A and B are shown apart, each in its own frame.
Chain A
Amino acid sequence: MDSIAIELRGIDKSFGLVHANKNINLKVRKGTIHGVIGENGAGKSTLMSILYGFYQADSGEIHVDGKQVSIRDPNAAIAAGIGMVHQHFMLVENFTVLENVMLGAEESRILNKGIAKARVELKRLEREYALEVNPDAVIEELPVGLQQRVEILKALYRRADILILDEPTGVLTPAEADHLFRVLEQLKSQGKTIILITHKLREIMAITDEVSVMRRGEMVATRTTAETSVEELAELMVGRRVLLRVEKGEAKPGDVKLSVDGLTVKDSRGVTMVDNVSFNLRAGEIVGIAGVAGNGQSELLEAISGIRRAVSGDVLLNGKAIDVTGHADPKELRDRGLAHVPEDRHHVGLVLKFEESENAILGYHHDKRYLNGVFLNVDAIRKDAEQKIAEYDIRPPNARLKTANFSGGNQQKIVLAREMERGPDVLIIGQPTRGVDVGAIEFIHKRIIEMRDQGKAVLLVSVELDEIRALSDRILVMFAGRVVGERDPDATEGELGLLMAGVEGRKEAAE
């Protein structure tokens, strides 16, 4: 078991001025699951792309099974027995499973002959690794968990012995993730080598044999998983001690600030996305909405914040109605004390081509503070931005830099600074730490709890269950547009996971 499946020696790669990989050395033992962790931008994905022939290293060597190989394109990687499951699936959505698996490995110019063979081979793989999927199903009609299975099958079909998985659980329910881990264990027991790239420390601890940590383009450490801890890994990733769970005191709920009653929202196709949802949000509490992405949380946020028109329902803000079924105007809602940090900061929260100071007042640009008659008072705007930059530790501290040039975490801080700074009565936050580094997560979580302690009402939507559990005073679980249960933050992950998968909720509703 001690032979080395893959060895990287001195891999170096730069993109222009960005030194993405600095002299990386890595050994992965055969038949093990090897984790690679690091923050966003630490160079994990670049390294794996080099291994898969997507990019060429500027210097360095790759050895597979003890032999040096040159991987100039994905073809060479496939030939060397390396398969990859990408974070964003590389599937053709309107093709069938079979067509996707065959693509690039068709065997002959005319498809018919290959199809029959592929069908047999697919059946064999399905049986061997418990990866059932209907070969004639069209990809876009499959749930993400099954789509991922197709990606794995694609790699196995090409006889991969080394499987790289890039952030595989980001889109999965806890149950689907568990199933994936069982599949990986199965693959490992059959002698496959697996490289798992993730930023989720819990996954690393649960499934890997060894783990390598990357930070700012460097490989900073390799540990045997059994001999390390979540705390040590987090510290290695960030380069300083991090609080994984922010301290927070008892909540002191006050008056109802936001009341939602019977809210129903349909999407553009007429499908009901939010189904008769009711809840109250009080001053001084954080209510977390848990759920797998796509179960109506996004539409709920959009309806409350006036971006999407609801079909029916009543929403009261500070006791006064919001016209959610008519023309709720986000500007008016802001004036009435409702601030919204949207889930998708790139499309809704920010204009990436604007400079930082412009984004820092977006939506508040009617404020007299920023105006000089009918013109914008640029000096005041920049001064205001600089103040927020200092307060929220936004880096680089340059109010005139194009927003696209900030990292995900700093972009998120720009949005948070804008929405929190005015001290709204109700703060609605979607995915506060999506694409945000561990270090910045700690900062953002602290700020959210501070808001609560100042007596603000916070509605938090996140697909990260850990985040919901760490911050919320009450947890509502959404499934298929309905709130299927309410739990305390000390509810177990398994309990919440069942609710998120719609298993427990149905029973509860029936009782």
Chain B
Amino acid sequence: MDFFHVIVVLLESTIRVSVPLIFAALAGLFTERAGIFDIGLEGKMLGAAFAAGAVAAITQSVWLGLLAAILISIALSLVHGYASITQRGNQIVSGVAINFIVAGSTVILGEAWFRQGGRTPALAEGARFQTINFPFADAIREVPLIGPIYADLLSGHFILTYVAFAMVPLSWWILYRTRFGLRLRAVGENPGAVDTAGISVIWMRYRAVICCGILCGFAGAYLSLAMTAGFVKGMTAGKGYIALAALIFAKWRPFNIMLACLLFGFLDAFAIRLQGNPLPLIGQVPVQLMQALPYILTVILLAGFIGKAIPPKAGGVPYVKER
């Protein structure tokens, strides 16, 4: 059953490329639901990937690498928070600035420290994440249908992959079932209501920004410690923006975000898969077109196929008490 096999492989790589999108889009969910637009997801992810690669290369510890990724990402988030919450600056400008600073400084620091053209040294086995194989995966693989699904789709991923998918219901629970989530969503809709209820708008927003930093840290660490064995310059390659698109496409809802990220991931995996293979009926398709496909679809989907995406009402507006 060759066709079935192709599908399984396609879905397996869909999951693999979706993971950083899910982390980053959920990161964006926390800040944007709190009323802070974050175009700096890309930069935070890239900074985190670099920190993870560098620290793991030096310490040979994958966990220290992950920790460094999260800390750097939180630090960058706090810069964005300081600019947009405390200083009431323009959130887009602040986010773009972070993207540029990180894109440049990771290359400079990487070259200065490791002298490998902006890369971090390739990581040995102990310094990067290993895939986890479920029990009996190999034994069951030959069973038709269930076998490949269990062995290749469910089993054999990195721990961060499982964390990413667990984050989806967890984020939903935090946002909709806890006091923190209620206040966070309120602060993104009408900060005045939160302020008059005796809750600090500023502190709420900083906490949202920190949540974003943690999740972006996971996204970056996944890129340099799991997907590849080390940091490569510019390795986020626009994933932060795609995640942002997924966030809007999903109308700022956790489960929709997972589906949107899987869709974008699928397009990506599909494009990779089709490279060099002729399509039935159409024939050979240029590689460039296939690579551009996810982006083209993003534009089309965002332009008209999702209905009206209503962002959090206070999004992008710094909170100033009346008068």
Contacts and interface: CB of A to CB of B under 8 A. Distances in A.
Interface in A40-55: 46, 49, 52, 54-55
A108 B186 CA distance: 17
8 nearest A-B residue pairs (beta carbon): A104-B197, A75-B198, A90-B193, A106-B179, A74-B198, A90-B196, A92-B189, A92-B186
Given A99-B182, A104-B199, A111 B177 contact: yes
Contact of A54 (B177, B189, B197, B321): B321
Given A91-B190, A105-B197, 20 more contacts: A54-B321, A73-B198, A74-B195, A77-B198, A86-B192, A88-B192, A90-B193, A90-B197, A92-B193, A94-B313, A95-B186, A99-B182, A102-B182, A103-B193, A103-B197, A104-B197, A109-B178, A109-B179, A111-B182, A112-B177
B194 A103 contact: yes
A111 B193 contact: no
A468 interface: no
B180 interface: yes
B179 A108 contact: yes
Nearest to B190: A92
Nearest to A79: B198
A112 B183 CA distance: 15
A74 B198 CA distance: 5
Interface in B163-210: 177-183, 185-186, 189-190, 192-199
Contacts of A88: 192
Contacts of B189: 92-95
Contact of B198 (A102, A104, A114): A104
Interface in A52-83: 52, 54-55, 73-75, 77-78
Interface string B234-249: 0000000000000000
Nearest to A105: B197
28 contacts: A15-B323, A52-B196, A54-B196, A54-B321, A73-B198, A74-B195, A77-B198, A78-B198, A86-B196, A90-B195, A92-B185, A92-B190, A94-B189, A95-B186, A95-B189, A102-B182, A103-B183, A103-B186, A103-B193, A103-B199, A108-B179, A109-B178, A109-B180, A110-B178, A111-B177, A111-B178, A111-B179, A154-B197
Interface string B303-323: 000000000010000000111
A104 B323 contact: no
B177 A104 contact: no
A154 B189 CA distance: 18
A371 B321 CA distance: 43
A74 B178 contact: no
B252 to A, nearest CB: 11
B193 A100 contact: yes
A218 B193 CA distance: 29
Nearest to B196: A90
A448 interface: no
Nearest to A110: B178
A114 B177 CA distance: 11
Contacts of A77: 198
Nearest to B183: A103
Contacts of A86: 192, 196
A84 interface: yes
A90 B190 contact: yes
Nearest to B173: A110
Interface residue range, chain B? 20 to 34
B287 to A, nearest CB: 44
Contacts, number: 75
B192 A90 contact: yes
Contacts of A46: 323
A110 B198 contact: no
Contacts of B183: 103-104
Interface of A: 15, 46, 49, 52, 54-55, 73-75, 77-78, 84, 86, 88, 90-95, 99-100, 102-106, 108-112, 114, 154
A111 B172 CA distance: 13
A346 to B, nearest CB: 15
Contacts of B181: 111
Contact of A103 (B177, B182, B321, B323): B182
B323 A91 contact: no
A92 B187 CA distance: 9
A90 B183 CA distance: 13
Which of B178, B183, B189, B190 has its CB near the most chain A CB atoms (within 10 A)? Answer: B190
Given A102-B182, A103-B182, A74 B323 contact: no
A54 B181 CA distance: 24
A154 B194 CA distance: 12
Interface string B272-303: 00000000000000000000000000000000
A78 B197 CA distance: 8
Contacts of A94: 189, 313
A91 B182 contact: no
Contacts of B199: 103-104
Contacts of A104: 183, 194, 197-199
B186 to A, nearest CB: 5
B181 to A, nearest CB: 8
Nearest to A94: B189
A129 to B, nearest CB: 20
Nearest to A54: B321
A108 to B, nearest CB: 7
Interface string B131-147: 00000000000000000
B72 to A, nearest CB: 29
Interface in B213-253: none
B196 A93 contact: no
Contacts of B179: 106, 108-111, 114
A106 B183 CA distance: 10
A15 B321 CA distance: 13
B197 A93 contact: no
A88 B193 CA distance: 10
Contacts of A112: 177
B58 to A, nearest CB: 39
Nearest to B198: A75
A114 B182 CA distance: 12
Which of B180, B185, B194, B323 has its CB near the most chain A CB atoms (within 10 A)? Answer: B323
Contacts of A75: 198
Contacts of B177: 110-112
Nearest to B181: A111
Which of A49, A55, A104 has its CB near the most chain B CB atoms (within 10 A)? Answer: A104
Nearest to B179: A106
Contacts of B178: 109-111
A77 B181 CA distance: 24
A376 B28 CA distance: 49
Which of B181, B190, B194, B196 has its CB near the most chain A CB atoms (within 10 A)? Answer: B196
Contacts of A49: 322
B198 A91 contact: no
B34 to A, nearest CB: 13
A93 B190 contact: yes
Nearest to B312: A94
